[in-house]
């Protein structure tokens, strides 16, 4: 990896870590959303260093362009002045949380120790490495695995997402006044029909008992 690549990695990694911390620490929801945005952009920088150009662009388009927009809309709907929930965490919880964090960080650090720098960020392809290295992470290689090797799961996921969208709309939309009226009308008609049926049966029963059964 070149010196420039290392500098870029250090910069992106630092921004990613700091903005990730900012997302959870900062009190103002809007600043948290903006830290998340910075984190996403730094991550796509890291993807670029791994030769994953398409992934980097999609990270920007989908996560920065769509997901953060969603957060922004939620923040605007709830408003900035939501009272903060009271802090229920005591000393025991806090100590346990810090202990768990230290252990997890240690595990992560030890498992990453044998990883060398070239694995973190890829350098340019050497002359002997051929076409496979050149295309690694490119649009061609990516779509190869997406549309040929993994076509069935990919299409299934898209169907699943469509179903989820339809379901979400059906749940969230509620019913219009006409629909409520129509279903009320239908229910009324059913109740009326049931009442008529009941009355008819009663009348029949009365008739039967009046004539003394099988006569």
Partner 1 sequence: MGHLIANAWLRGLVHGALLITVLMTAVAWISWFERKFAARVQSRLGPTMVGPAGLLQPIADAFKMFQKEDIIPRGADSLLFRLAPPLTLFLSLATAAVLPIMPGMLASDLDIGVLYALAFSGLLAFPIWVAGWSSANKYALLGGMRMVAQGISYEIPMVLCALVPVVVTGSLSLSEIVKYQAAHHWLVFWPPGIGVIAFVLFFTTALAESNRIPFDIPEAESELVAGPTTEYTAIRFGLFASAEYAHSVVSCALASALFLGGWDGPVLPPSVWMLLKTAALFVIVTWVRWSLLRLRSDQLMALCWKYLVPVSLALVLGAGAWVYVVG
Q: Judged by CB under 8 A, which of 17, 25, 61, 199 binds partner 1?
A: 61
Report the run of H or E that residue 133 belongs to, with start and end: helix 130-135
Cβ(123)–Cβ(2) under 8 Å?
yes
Q: Residue from 72, 122, 125, 133 that binds partner 1 (CB under 8 A)?
A: 72
34 binds partner 1 (CB under 8 A): yes
123-127: which pairs have CB atoms within 8 A and are 24 or more residues apart?
Answer: 123/1, 123/2, 123/5, 124/2
Q: How far is the CB of 203 from partner 1 (least distance, A)?
A: 57
Stretch that binds partner 1, among 14-22, 26-34, 85-93, 194-202 (CB under 8 A): 26-34
In terms of Cβ atoms closer than 10 Å to its own Cβ (0-12, 13-18, 19+), residue 158 is exposed
Identity of the residue, 31 or 186, whose beta carbon is nearer to partner 1 in the bound complex: 31
Q: Pick from 21, 98, 107, 139: which binds partner 1 (CB under 8 A)?
A: 139
Asked if residue 17 lies in contact with residue 36, where contact means CB atoms within 8 angstroms, the answer is no
Binding site for partner 1 (CB under 8 A): 2, 4, 28, 30-31, 34, 37, 53-54, 56-58, 60-61, 64-66, 68-69, 72-73, 76, 138-139
């Amino acid at each position: 990896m070149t010196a420039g690549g290392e500098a870029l990695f250090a910069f992106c990694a630092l921004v990613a870590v700091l903005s990730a911390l900012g997302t959870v620490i900062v009190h103002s929801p809007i600043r948290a959303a903006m830290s998340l945005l910075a984190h996403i952009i730094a991550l796509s920088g890291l993807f670029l260093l791994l030769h994953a150009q398409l992934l980097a662009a999609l990270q920007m388009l989908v996560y920065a362009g769509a997901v953060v927009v969603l957060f922004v809309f939620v923040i605007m709907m709830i408003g900035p002045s939501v009272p903060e929930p009271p802090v229920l965490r005591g000393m025991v919880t806090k100590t346990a949380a810090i202990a768990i964090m230290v252990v997890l960080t240690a595990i992560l650090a030890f498992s990453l120790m044998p990883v060398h720098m070239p694995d973190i960020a890829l350098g340019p392809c050497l002359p002997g490495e051929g076409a496979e290295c050149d295309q690694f992470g490119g649009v061609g290689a990516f779509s190869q695995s997406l549309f040929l090797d993994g076509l069935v799961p990919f299409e299934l996921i898209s169907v699943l997402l469509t179903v989820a969208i339809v379901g979400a709309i059906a749940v969230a939309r509620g019913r219009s006044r006409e629909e409520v009226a129509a279903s009320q009308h239908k229910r009324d008609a059913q109740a009326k029909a049931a009442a008529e049926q009941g009355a008819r049966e009663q009348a029949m029963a009365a008739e039967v008992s009046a004539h003394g059964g099988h006569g």
